[in-house]
């Protein structure tokens, strides 16, 4: 399978200048194409026959009109602006399908910047690496912070975050062998902890994280106090960007370790398919996963379960994992966030809130719960017992019946 690999570069000053130049060209091409598409869309309001230019149309116009007028385009690799045009077009496709927002213009001097490079022809290969360095077209040999597997690199993206430069490449990996008798696991994601698993393991949020978050707030204030456009503000912005990167690295490291552990040691990983926006609205969920979003956690699990040949199961977001007793009596009652312990009024089991939820996620199966949005649903019990998969129609009937008879345990 193809995996993406991102690592830090150690460019010298001359190379940094080249990088910045390439970023500039990409940004210029992106903004130019964005304005062309915006113009076309305005024209289309009166004349529907006008077509939105494709990435190829845009490239033809770029070569004919823009490049000759801006000779600095010729100093950089031609793949960079071309890829920028493809990106604008894809962004607009997504916007027109209402998947994402309208693409914005890229500003110079933002904390992030990037450009794309491509392998040249066979006779004149653009990208190659010797393990410790990577050769880039027009730029030359750039040193790497860590050794890279020596493979054929077809293309790469070079990006800047704060004052550091990174390279992302795709390369082929062999699938690692894993043992056949791995258990399945349910994971409850962070209110107090990073994650709690159904077998009782607790993954704590990284300690440095909270401390850094406080520092981040302080720096944020210091930026907003400084005069716009001043040197001091620019300095403070750089400092803030550096700390942001540091915090995000601590967070990423913790999540990477967790997702690798889960995918590598289990045949099936079950997580709740939480709505990210609803998740973030709740400020009490200020853990590492909440901060970077469920999306990243899910994304990592998706490719890692594929890599380790295990299965990722996403659980219905209406499944009330924290409200049911996991001790097979299926008693259910409301659990406000501040209640940290689940006390079952039926069988008397007392358990940590997150562990109880993780256990319920672990025993989840398709059809275990039919979402009911009425208040009755909250006070009803759910027939969710047993490891085996019972007839789901029976489960539905049980839920409905209990709603009808208004059985309450609260």
Q: What is the set of active-site residues?
A: 188, 272, 354
Q: Which is nearer to Zn ion, 310 or 356 (CB)?
A: 356
- Angle (deg, nearest 10), helices 294-307 and 231-265: 40
Separation CA 64–CA 67 (nearest Å): 7
Task: For residue 189, give the H/E element and its range.
Answer: strand 184-189
In the complex, what is the shortest distance from the CB of residue 101 to Zn ion, in angstroms, rounded to a whole number? 46
CA 376 to chain centre: 36
Tell which residue, 277, 117, 265, has the closest CA to residue 179: 265
In the complex, what is the shortest distance from the CB of residue 376 to Zn ion, in angstroms, rounded to a whole number? 20
Separation CA 255–CA 297 (nearest Å): 7
Q: Which is nearer to Zn ion, 205 or 326 (CB)?
A: 326
Separation CA 254–CA 216 (nearest Å): 19
Residues that bind Zn ion (CB under 5 A): 325, 327, 329, 331, 344, 346-347, 349
Name the H helices within 106-230.
207-225
In the complex, what is the shortest distance from the CB of residue 347 to Zn ion, in angstroms, rounded to a whole number? 3
Distances (CA, A) of 109 to 28, 160, 173, 310: 13, 11, 36, 42
In the complex, what is the shortest distance from the CB of residue 348 to Zn ion, in angstroms, rounded to a whole number? 7
Separation CA 189–CA 268 (nearest Å): 16
What is the token pair recorded at 22?
């390439």
Q: Which is nearer to Zn ion, 297 or 319 (CB)?
A: 319
Task: For residue 294, give the H/E element and its range.
Answer: helix 294-307
Task: For residue 395, give the H/E element and its range.
Answer: helix 392-404
In the complex, what is the shortest distance from the CB of residue 322 to Zn ion, in angstroms, rounded to a whole number? 14
CB neighbours (10 Å) of residue 344?
A: 20
Half-sphere exposure of 320 (CA within 13 A, CB side): 24
Are 303 and 309 contacting, i.e. CB atoms less than 8 angstroms apart?
no
Q: Which is nearer to Zn ion, 76 or 321 (CB)?
A: 321
In the complex, what is the shortest distance from the CB of residue 344 to Zn ion, in angstroms, rounded to a whole number? 3
Q: Which is nearer to Zn ion, 266 or 332 (CB)?
A: 332
Strand, helix or coil for residue 37: helix
Q: Which is nearer to Zn ion, 26 or 327 (CB)?
A: 327
Are 110 and 96 contacting, i.e. CB atoms less than 8 angstroms apart?
no
Q: Which is nearer to Zn ion, 19 or 319 (CB)?
A: 319
């Amino acid at each position: 399978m193809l995996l993406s690999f991102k690592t830090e570069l150690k460019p010298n000053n001359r190379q940094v200048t080249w990088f910045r130049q390439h970023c500039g060209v990409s940004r210029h091409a992106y903004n130019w194409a964005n304005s062309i598409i915006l113009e076309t869309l305005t024209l289309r309001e009166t004349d529907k026959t006008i077509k939105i230019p494709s990435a190829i149309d845009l490239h033809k116009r770029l070569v004919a009109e823009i490049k000759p007028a801006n000779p600095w385009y010729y100093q950089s690799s031609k793949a960079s602006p071309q890829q920028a045009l493809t990106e604008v077009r894809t962004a607009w496709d997504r916007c027109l399908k209402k998947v994402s927002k309208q693409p914005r213009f890229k500003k110079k001097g933002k904390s992030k910047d990037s450009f794309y490079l491509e392998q040249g022809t066979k006779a004149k290969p653009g990208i190659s690496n010797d393990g410790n360095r990577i050769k880039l077209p027009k730029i030359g040999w750039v040193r790497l912070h860590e050794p890279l597997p020596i493979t054929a690199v077809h293309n790469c993206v070079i990006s800047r975050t704060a004052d550091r430069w990174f390279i992302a490449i795709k390369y082929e990996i062999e699938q690692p062998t894993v043992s056949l008798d791995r258990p399945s696991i349910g994971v409850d994601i962070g209110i107090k902890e990073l994650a709690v698993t159904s077998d009782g393991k607790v993954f704590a949020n990284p300690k440095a994280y909270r401390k850094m978050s406080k520092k981040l707030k302080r720096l944020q204030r210091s930026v907003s106090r400084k005069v716009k456009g001043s040197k001091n503000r620019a300095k403070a912005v750089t400092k803030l960007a550096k700390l942001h990167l540091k915090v995000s690295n601590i967070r990423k490291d913790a999540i990477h370790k967790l997702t690798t552990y889960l995918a590598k040691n289990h045949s099936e990983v079950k997580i709740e398919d939480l709505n990210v926006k609803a998740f973030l609205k709740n400020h009490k969920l200020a853990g590492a996963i909440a901060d970077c979003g469920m999306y990243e956690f899910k994304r990592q699990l998706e490719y890692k379960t594929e890599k380790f040949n295990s299965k990722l199961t996403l659980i219905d977001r209406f499944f009330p994992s924290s409200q049911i007793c996991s001790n097979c009596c299926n008693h259910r009652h409301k659990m406000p966030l501040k209640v940290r312990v689940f006390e079952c009024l039926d069988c008397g089991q007392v358990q940590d809130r997150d562990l109880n939820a993780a256990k319920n996620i672990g025993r989840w199966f398709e059809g275990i719960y039919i979402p009911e949005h009425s208040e009755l649903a909250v006070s009803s019990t759910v027939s969710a017992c047993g490891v085996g998969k019972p007839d789901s129609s029976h489960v539905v009937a049980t839920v409905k019946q209990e709603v009808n008879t208004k059985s309450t345990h609260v």
